[in-house]
A and B are shown apart, each in its own frame.
Chain A
Amino acid sequence: MYSRTYKAAVAIPPLAWVTGFLLVPYALLFAYSFWQVEAQQVVHHWNLGNYRELFHNPMYLEVLFRSMKIAGAVTALALLLGYPLAYYLSFCSRKKELLYQLVIVPLWVSYLVRAYAWKTILGSDGVLNTLLQYVHVVHHPVESLLYSPFAVVLTLTHIYTPFAFLPIYASLEHIPRRLVEASEDLGATPARTFARVILPLSLPGVLAGATFAFVLSLGDFLAPLLLGGPSGIMISNVVVSLFGAAYNWPLGAAISLSMLVLVVVLLSIVQRAERKLSFG
């Protein structure tokens, strides 16, 4: 029903823009990762040196591994907090609309500011330490709270739990209630109904939530800078320093591109798993 002109008019402008401002930049990132720096200048000398450096220097692999561990911990915690909350809202609460909004509201406080609030809480003169001293649980401030991977995991969990919650809640809401009723009418205990009906049907949401939490926290660099200290450095912090003071854009590009590939591969695995779950 749509004419050729109509189709061209709606397809060409976004195609052109996305090519110019997304495809070309990602291609540049790709190209840079094969160049190198000589005498403080980026030279277009194509080689695999950056990737060799990345996979042979234990420092980079260690930081990458740590970032994946932190992202993994954040994902697990976000699911542990987000799933029961979503389940409660969807199946047990009578004020789910209101509570749903209450989960969204923290997202409206700036990311940076929430990270900063955790710094206020965890610092050695912070709320938690002075509170603990005030009620005489400890006599000296617990120094290890801030500037540690723990602080990073806690903050990122706080930030990404709503992201994990949203798709899980959506998938729970889509479960036909008559399936749950049928299971109960046929004599299944609530635990069995949960394990055999509700949980399997909500897995696509769990997968989507886990992906969001993992990918977003994997690439984070602000929480580690604010709260991580030297032991909480993540892979994006390395990239930031390579693009700043260390001035090695090609190596930074190689690390970014590896991250991009990791994310894209993860996404396609998740998509395939999701398709299998919804058909099987």
Chain B
Amino acid sequence: MTEGLRTDRLNDSRSRWLPGYAVLVFAFLYLPIVVLIVYSFNGQSVGGFPPRGLTTHWYRVLASDDAMWDSVVNSLEVALAAVALALAFGLPAALALDRVSFPGKQIFRRLVLLPLILPGIITGLSLLMLFVAAGMKLSLLTITLGHGTALISVATTELFAGLQALDRAQEEASLDLGANYWQTFWRVTLPNLRLSIVGAALLIFTLSIDEIAVSFFLIGRSNTLPLEIWSRLRRGMTPEINAVSTLIFGFSLVTILVWYRLRVRGRAPAEEIA
């Protein structure tokens, strides 16, 4: 009730320009996406106005473009492996930050989070130096190690937030009733963290799929999708890029909707109780 009242009161003073401004900002955010989608169906290969001739030509070109699909498969493999790696180290890191005190904990926290805020180029270069020093050949493996390591930051942040919201009493009860740590972890901690884990995994997956600054330096012979797109952009513009991007955008939208539904469903029982 008061919610509505308050909103109205603030509304009348600013209703003149603020909604219009918000619409303009949204227009700015969506303009390139609309252009992208429209011109993936454009008959001409350059993007003049107005768009001429509706065609699915670029989608057909894309369908038979093996190099592009290889890079999609590479990206999916790298992203899945990066999710596994980041979670495998991010979960214990979050547990350690939540419940263990050890010397250098603050430094550890900062170090883990550094790739999140540092420009990707610095992390990419540093890892390149490591792999060169170790005599490793650059390949999809080095990219995976790079993504996985950089994204431990995301896993740790998300899972740490999940742990902080967790009810410790359940774990205590489990331990008091005779379960060991391992059983408690699998049967109590992990199921309670389910939503944070899924959220972290989705976030890591999408960040890895789109990652380019770190990959740029760790690339071997096989390209990931962004690097494949990059190599083509350097050669010139082609609406095929618009077509593949439109498909990825559609796929991402579906993924968000699924995630959104999951979250809503995950939240619903708690709200019912409250």
| Min CB–CB distance B65 → chain A (angstroms) | 16
B166 interface contact, C-beta 8 A: no
Whether A109 contacts B252 by the Cβ 8 Å rule is: yes
A94 interface contact, C-beta 8 A: yes
Across the interface, A18 reaches (CB within 8 A) one of B19, B111, B255, namely: B111
Contact with B along A100-125 (1 / 0, CB 8 A): 01111110111111101111110101
| Min CB–CB distance B256 → chain A (angstroms) | 7
A247 interface contact, C-beta 8 A: no
Contact with A along B154-184 (1 / 0, CB 8 A): 0000000000000000011001000001000
- A116: chain B residues at CB < 8 Å are 36, 229, 233, 237, 241, 245
Whether B122 contacts A219 by the Cβ 8 Å rule is: yes
B235 interface contact, C-beta 8 A: no
Across the interface, A256 reaches (CB within 8 A) one of B6, B9, B121, B252, namely: B121
Interface size on A, residues (CB 8 A): 94
Contact with A along B208-221 (1 / 0, CB 8 A): 01101100110000
- A252: chain B residues at CB < 8 Å are 125
| Min CB–CB distance A80 → chain B (angstroms) | 9
A3 interface contact, C-beta 8 A: yes
Residue of B nearest to A266 (CB): B117
Interface size on B, residues (CB 8 A): 86
Residue of A nearest to B95 (CB): A10
- A220: chain B residues at CB < 8 Å are 119
Chain B stretch 1-56: residues in CB contact (< 8 A) with chain A: 2, 6-7, 9-11, 13-15, 18-19, 21-22, 25-26, 28-33, 35-36, 39, 46-50
Select the stretch in A45-53, A54-62, A166-174, A176-184 that faces chain B: A176-184
Select the stretch in B76-84, B127-135, B190-198 that faces chain A: B127-135
A81 interface contact, C-beta 8 A: yes
A127 interface contact, C-beta 8 A: yes
| Min CB–CB distance B170 → chain A (angstroms) | 12
Whether A119 contacts B18 by the Cβ 8 Å rule is: no
| Min CB–CB distance A255 → chain B (angstroms) | 10
Whether B119 contacts A17 by the Cβ 8 Å rule is: no
Whether B36 contacts A109 by the Cβ 8 Å rule is: yes
Whether A158 contacts B121 by the Cβ 8 Å rule is: no
- A17: chain B residues at CB < 8 Å are 89, 149, 152
Chain A binding surface SS class = helix
Whether B96 contacts A121 by the Cβ 8 Å rule is: no
A216 interface contact, C-beta 8 A: yes
With A14-B93, A134-B49 in contact, is A29–B126 under 8 Å at CB?
A: yes
With A18-B152, A21-B145 in contact, is A11–B96 under 8 Å at CB?
A: yes
Across the interface, A106 reaches (CB within 8 A) one of B29, B119, B216, B242, namely: B29
Bound CA span A190–B15, Å: 12
Residue of A nearest to B229 (CB): A112
Contact with B along A1-22 (1 / 0, CB 8 A): 1110111011101110110011
Across the interface, B9 reaches (CB within 8 A) one of A184, A243, A260, namely: A184
Across the interface, A10 reaches (CB within 8 A) one of B28, B92, B114, B130, namely: B92
- B108: chain A residues at CB < 8 Å are 15, 18
| Min CB–CB distance B26 → chain A (angstroms) | 7
Q: Which residues of A are at the interface with B, using a C-beta cutoff of 8 A? A: 1-3, 5-7, 9-11, 13-15, 17-18, 21-26, 28-29, 32, 81-82, 84-85, 87-89, 91-94, 99, 101-106, 108-114, 116-121, 123, 125-128, 130-131, 134, 158, 161-162, 177, 180-181, 184, 189-191, 211-212, 215-216, 218-222, 226, 236, 239-240, 243, 249, 252-253, 256, 259-260, 263, 267
Can you report 25 residue pairs joining A to B where beta carbons are below 8 Å apart?
A5-B181, A7-B99, A15-B108, A17-B152, A18-B152, A22-B123, A24-B130, A81-B25, A84-B22, A85-B21, A92-B18, A106-B33, A110-B210, A116-B241, A118-B32, A120-B47, A120-B237, A126-B48, A127-B47, A130-B49, A134-B49, A158-B29, A158-B32, A215-B117, A259-B122
Given contacts A11-B102, A18-B111, A130-B49, 8 further A-B contacts (CB under 8 A): A2-B181, A23-B111, A111-B210, A112-B229, A113-B241, A116-B229, A180-B6, A211-B117
8 closest cross-chain pairs (CB), A and B: A219-B119, A25-B126, A117-B32, A14-B93, A108-B252, A131-B49, A11-B96, A113-B245
